[in-house]
Structure 1
């Protein structure tokens, strides 16, 4: 987030001798300064897992293979299972350190357009 703003104002008249609010040896001036204000916002992902559940689907398939020397058999059971894992997704939001700095206008006067 970045804010760069200039405030409009009416020009002040130069001092006249009949004005009592103006010092005799000076005149009124208005100075405008633009500043850059930064407010970082940090977004971080969050995820929390619930307890998973496992359920069997249908019947298992069974295969049996006899070794070539007929000294053993390998039995393979294959079961389709359904695993449900509840997940809660979110975002945590935190603000970083807010900073301010003089705008680099080069001339010292503010000609910002917002």
Structure 2
């Protein structure tokens, strides 16, 4: 099986400590890009924004949103609008109405 081409949006301490090692240890996923204003992961193509990453043409099937809840809604809308699968941390949104809206978009 070909691994899922995965991107991470929002690179910080939890990504370094938890997400990146878990992805590296799972043959079902290949980390192909990150979108973060200030950080990246060594050996992975880094973009400064989701829009830049999505416009790059990088083959991305799914995006893991690793950012505070108040930023996830717009990022999830952008990723879903680009036809990507989206992984959301908990809580999945800042409000229940955001979560309902994303549910309908997905």
**TM-score, normalised with respect to structure 1:** 0.16
Larger relative strand fraction = 1
Larger radius of gyration: 1
Q: Which has the higher contact order (CA 8 A, sep 6+)?
A: 1
Larger relative helix fraction = 2
